[in-house]
Amino acid sequence: MGTIKIIQGDITKITVDAIVNASNTTLLGGGGVDGAIHRAAGPQLLAECRKLNGCPTGEAKITGGYNLPAKYVIHTPGPIWRGGDHSEVQLLQNSYRNSLQLAAENNCTTVAFPSISTGVYHFPLDQAAQIAVTTIKRFLQQPSSIQTVTMVCFDKLTYKSVSEAVKIP
């Protein structure tokens, strides 16, 4: 069974098999963590993403990591928060689960996640942290190649929220 680690830092500097990109549905880069990952990986990432024809919310697609210390980037568009009545919870669970599944299918043992949908998509942080941790814990209870999932928190508030969610049994 795998473990969850929580750190505060920059996901583009983490050495793991795969980092997850909280992308938009075009996969062509954007703001926040998405833009940072595209800038750090270099132009080859955008070139490969162009061939993928986008990705629906909650699904995941994989590319090379290029100039990143990660072998792969798993792109998953999380849901935009619209008050909670538009399947946002299910879609966010899907983003985490499908990303983990894709990592396992590619024999990854280490995966790093940002906090998906909590930036410009305005998903409430505490609720998103709880969904992330619950979904990851559930996935790690099943046999797969994944040994360590690191939640990489951009700021202290996110770190606190994810840390609290991990403490809940």
List residues with catalytic annotation.
34
CB 61 within 8 A of CB 75: yes
From the number of C-beta atoms within 10 Å of its C-beta (0-12, 13-18, 19+), residue 17 rates as: buried
Chain centre to alpha carbon of residue 52: 18
Non-local (6+) Cβ contacts of 98 within 8 A are 58, 59, 60, 76
Cα→Cα distances 106→11, 88, 100, Å: 20, 27, 10
